[in-house]
Amino acid sequence: MFFDKINIRNKLNSQSIVVGYDLGEEFSQISIVHLNGEEPITLSTIAGEEQFNIPTVLCKRNEVNQWFYGREAYRNGENGEGILIDHLIEKAKTGEMITVEEVQIEPVELLALYMKKSFSMLGMVTTMNNVAAIMITVDRLDARMVEVLTKATEYLNLKKDTVLFQSHEESAFYYIMNQPEELRSFQTGICDFTQGYLKTYCLEVNKHTVPMVSYVEEKIYEDARAQEDEKFLSIAMDLCRERIVSAVFLVGEKFQGEWYKRSISYLCNGRRVFQGNNLYSKGACYAIQERVKPSSLSQEYVFLGKDKLKSNIGIQVEHAGEDRYYGLLDAGENWYDTKAEVDFLMDSGNVVSLLISSLHDNENKKADMPLSGMPIRPRKTTRIHMEVQMTGENILQVHCQDMGFGEIYPSSGQQWTSSFEI
């Protein structure tokens, strides 16, 4: 989702904040940052303590229309005082109705209720009137997850121009890029133990491109579910193999304690190591802050994650007697959000050529789309309306329509649609 930066800026004041909301299947977190250069802070469920995790659960009190969230929901559910509902994200993605005391409820509505109740924590530090924008970050951001989040924010009556979504890997990118330069002088690693299994991220930056292309390499270790030092040591060595790793961030409460002594000894050999569990919500803060008040980061780097378009896509046009490139889709945007349309006059022939420039491997190629059966007309007397959009991570769909040329050459009504793997 995108918003108009100008509209946001017009609403800013000295009290304005942005919110990073990490929405997880088991736990969620809320971080905030004022737009005056301060560091993000994460809201605690208990004043004076670092209790950042808000269990992603709801509980409806028996026979009363009263709902609880988080730890209070767990307490009431375990005490038999209400009906506990967990796995809210999974249920919302499947879309199956949930029956609560013989009443069927749409699962996205319950997810929205949880979000609304957890957002009430902002009342400890500010008011919603001071919230300039919100970045919601989730583990996986695919087209279905975007549908769920979009619908949930509609239930909350949140304005579309103030809410964005991004994946954990992109939040990790923004978090790392806002750390001191010595921590990211080479590659930076993350070990995540929050999902019931262990996974790693490694941030790679190609400093030979302009802008510099950044991406995250992810590895999932489904068999690493227990707190086992030997297993984690093997994973840590895999993360650092054939790389120069400057720093490693250990994410998740499972890294508390002393169960991984050999692993931590290995990781600390020539590397800085940090432990915490609010990296993604803070990264979401940095990301939304960058959208509202762009810095040099936006000009110097482009992040190409799994959900990002990895190529610039456009066409060659003639303008004022000169050949020019006309951009349609930009690399670095979420592929499911990308869509563009343009009208142009055909010079000759019946083939439309799109120019595809990959930022991942610097390869340039053309995608030719024949407009079979198009009426034969003089040069520049056929107007084509073209729409392009990504229908998959690597699938470009192109739709063209013959618009004719006014009353002289009326439209034939013909339309063409093609898909290209890029």
Alpha-carbon distance of 422 to 414, in angstroms, equals 26
| CB-facing half-sphere around the CA of 219: CA atoms within 13 A | 16
Q: Which residues of the chain have pLDDT under 50?
A: 1-7, 10
CATH of range 311-421; options 2.60.34.10, 1.10.10.10, 3.40.50.300, 2.30.130.40: 2.60.34.10
* pLDDT at position 6: 34
Architecture of domain 182-303: 2-Layer Sandwich (3.30)
Chain centroid offset of residue 151 CA: 16
> Which phi and psi angles does 364 have, rounded to 5°?
-115, 135
Of 355, 365, 356, nearest to 311 (Cα)?
A: 356
Of 71, 66, 72, nearest to 100 (Cα)?
A: 66
* pLDDT at position 57: 98
Q: To 10 degrees, the CA torsion angle through 119, 249, 193, 220?
A: 110
* pLDDT at position 385: 97
* pLDDT at position 26: 94
CATH 3.30.420.40 placement within the chain: 5-170
Cα→Cα distances 2→55, 150, 337, Å:
28, 12, 8
CATH 2.60.34.10 placement within the chain: 311-421
| CB-facing half-sphere around the CA of 287: CA atoms within 13 A | 31
* pLDDT at position 3: 40
* pLDDT at position 69: 97
pTM (whole model) above 0.75: yes
Amino acid of residue 187: Q
Token pair of 140, please? Answer: 């996986």
* pLDDT at position 320: 75
- Any idea what the Cα angle at residue 39 is, between residues 180 and 263, rounded to 5°? 50
Sign of the alpha-carbon torsion through 253, 254, 260, 261: positive
Of 346, 341, 360, 361, nearest to 302 (Cα)?
A: 360
In sequence order, what DSSP letters do the residues of 266-310 get, joined into one string? HHTSSSEEEEES-HHHHHHHHHHHHHHS--HHHHHEEE--TTB--
In sequence order, what DSSP letters do the residues of 200-233 get, joined into one string? EEEEEEETTSSSEEEEEEEEEETT--S--HHHHH
CATH of range 5-170; options 3.40.50.970, 3.30.420.40, 3.40.50.2020, 3.30.70.260: 3.30.420.40
Contacts of residue 303, Cβ cutoff 8 Å, sequence gap at least 6? 170, 173, 214, 215, 332
DSSP state of 39: P
* pLDDT at position 2: 38
* pLDDT at position 4: 39
